[in-house]
């Protein structure tokens, strides 16, 4: 069997195993949360008998390992259970929320990824000159500021002072595409600023590392311009680390949007998770945690596979 196929199969198997281990951690983590689920549902005025009946009905008296495998079997069958706070189907509620989060992440990535690669190439082209220093300084400043601070700054200037965009990014199904796009401008801008810096700096570092190779020096001796050397020789050979950092930041766009969604009251997965953590809605917390983990592990697995396929030494072994 070809070594590339073996490596890809190993990465997929490792991803599945890691997701299984993560599901155990999520389940155990929700078990050790303080408080009583039955008490949270029935309230402080509930009688001991009613609490005991509800615990029996919900299977809370069963051993933890048995409850875990019942929950895992339901997840594998597409049944995430029902919310304890409103008795609604979790999969149905998450479907709409996940769609909103992916909508926000898509537009942030559409701006951030090509812009980060372009700025990385530009910084390498003008290495140690004022464009490089300006780009590096701006990206370092943006990555040093927390998301909530960037969000409040953008809200103050663009929503309160100049009134160009809404401060609350609530979207509905009845809104048109352009109305939704207008509503997410500020949260998408915050996410873009956060991931832009990391991707740009990693792109710059990866290309500079390749620029020290012998074949790049040969291309320069042939009389190619600096930009042509970067575009034709350095960047294609630096694509593997660039893809890795892009995938990591795309995973952050889906998994790490909790703070941004709370700041802008955006109806996505992050806001949904925070709302139900405060209600101690364990099934919702478990479902959201597992979906976040699956997205993060899945995108990292794709990055590993792309890196394997982009490596000519693995594709053409001696």
Q: Which residues contact 70 (CB under 8 A, 6 or more apart)?
A: 59, 62
Model pLDDT, residue 18: 92
Name which of 318, 309, 317, 311 is nearest 8 in CA terms.
309
Largest CA distance in the chain: 86
Distances (CA, A) of 100 to 63, 143, 261, 273: 37, 25, 10, 14
pTM: 0.80
**Distance, CA of 9 to CA of 87 (rounded, Å):** 40
Bridge partners (DSSP) listed for residue 89: 82
Is the CB of residue 256 less than 8 Å from the CB of residue 279? no
* 300/304 Cα distance (integer angstroms): 6
Using an 8 Å Cβ cutoff, are 268 and 261 in contact? yes
Q: What is the CATH number of domain 90-315?
A: 1.10.3720.10
pLDDT tens, N- to C-terminus, the chain (318 residues): 677 788 888 889 998 999 999 999 988 887 777 666 666 666 666 777 776 776 776 666 677 777 888 888 888 887 777 777 777 888 888 888 888 888 888 898 898 888 888 888 888 778 778 888 888 888 888 778 888 888 888 998 988 888 888 888 888 878 888 888 888 899 999 988 888 888 888 888 877 777 777 766 776 677 777 777 776 767 776 777 777 788 888 888 877 788 888 888 888 888 888 888 777 778 888 888 888 889 888 888 888 887 777 766 666 666
> What is the structure's pLDDT at 314?
63
Burial class (CB in 10 A: 0-12, 13-18, 19+), 151: buried
CA of residue 187 relative to chain centroid, distance: 14
Domain boundaries, the chain: 90-315
CA–CA dist 215, 224 (Å, integer): 12
Q: How many Å apart are CA 311 and CA 316, to the nearest integer?
A: 9
Give residue 78's region: left, alpha or beta (phi > 0; psi -120 to 50): left
CA atoms within 13 A on the CB side of 205: 10
**From its phi and psi, is residue 223 left (phi > 0), alpha (psi between -120 and 50) or beta?**
left
């Amino acid at each position: 069997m070809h070594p590339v196929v073996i490596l890809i199969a190993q990465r997929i198997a490792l991803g599945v195993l890691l997701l299984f281990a993560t599901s155990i951690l999520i389940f155990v983590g929700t078990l050790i949360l303080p408080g009583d689920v039955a008490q949270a549902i029935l309230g402080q005025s509930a009688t001991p008998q009613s609490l005991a009946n509800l615990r029996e009905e919900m299977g809370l008296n069963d051993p933890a390992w048995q409850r875990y495998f019942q929950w895992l079997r339901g997840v594998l069958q597409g049944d995430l259970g029902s919310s304890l706070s409103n008795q609604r189907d979790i999969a149905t509620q998450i479907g709409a929320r996940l769609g909103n989060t992916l909508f926000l992440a898509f537009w942030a990535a559409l701006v951030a990824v090509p812009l980060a690669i372009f700025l990385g190439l530009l910084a390498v082209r003008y290495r140690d000159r004022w464009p490089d220093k300006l780009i590096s300084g701006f990206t370092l400043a943006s990555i040093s500021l927390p998301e909530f601070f960037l969000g409040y700054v953008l809200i103050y200037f663009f929503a309160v002072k100049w009134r160009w965009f809404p401060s609350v990014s609530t979207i509905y199904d009845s809104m048109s595409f352009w109305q939704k796009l207008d509503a997410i401008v500020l949260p998408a801008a915050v996410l873009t600023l956060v991931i832009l810096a990391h991707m740009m700096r990693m792109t710059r570092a990866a290309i500079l590392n390749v620029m020290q190779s012998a074949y790049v020096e040969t291309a320069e001796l042939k009389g190619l311009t600096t930009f042509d050397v970067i575009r034709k020789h350095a960047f294609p050979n630096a694509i593997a680390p660039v893809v890795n950092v892009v995938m990591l930041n795309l995973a952050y766009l889906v998994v790490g949007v909790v703070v941004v969604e709370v700041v802008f009251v955006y109806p996505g997965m992050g806001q949904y998770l925070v709302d139900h953590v405060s209600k101690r809605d364990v099934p919702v917390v478990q479902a959201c945690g597992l979906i976040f983990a699956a997205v993060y592990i899945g995108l990292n697995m794709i990055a590993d596979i792309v890196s394997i396929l982009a490596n000519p030494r693995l594709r053409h072994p001696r």
